[in-house]
Amino acid sequence: MPEILASLDHIAYCGLYCGSCRSLRKGKCPGCHDNVKASWCKIRACCMERGYSSCADCTDFENVRDCKKLNNIISKIFALAFKTNRPGSIESIRESGYDSFARAMAENGTMAVVK
């Protein structure tokens, strides 16, 4: 399997790091930004409509956990199943920037900040 590379293109709108995903690395998924089949994702649609790279660019909520699109029941189930923390990832991007986040996720081989 190809090594995990740090790339801004692999940061999903919701804060997941697609570059660490096996499906993307095996060529079975194009990643969030290029996945035209992900029209069901409200987070993706919101960010695309507003021209954001991710929820980290949004200024509607000082605390990203207040956003009902990012922090809903599906997100909570996803977080439990995959042990990821999308709001934590968005907070990390806000604190240290996209480059630092991508490097950290690639180095750790994780899709998001771990709970």
Q: What is the pLDDT of residues 75-115, one digit of tens each?
A: 888 788 878 899 999 999 999 999 999 999 999 988 888 65
Q: How confident is the model at residue 4 (pLDDT cuts 50, 70, 90)?
A: confident
- Residue 29, Ramachandran bin (φ over 0: left; ψ between -120 and 50: alpha; else beta): beta
Contact (CB, 8 A) for 88 and 95:
no
**Angle at Cα 52 formed by Cα 107 and Cα 87, nearest 5°?**
55
Name the least confident of 25-29, 45-49, 82-86. 82-86
Is the model's pTM score more than 0.85?
Answer: yes
- What local confidence, expressed as pLDDT, does residue 93 receive? 97
Mean pLDDT value across the chain: 91
pLDDT at 10 over 70: yes
- What local confidence, expressed as pLDDT, does residue 103 receive? 95
Contact (CB, 8 A) for 6 and 19:
yes
What sign does the CA torsion over 112, 93, 96, 61 have? Answer: negative
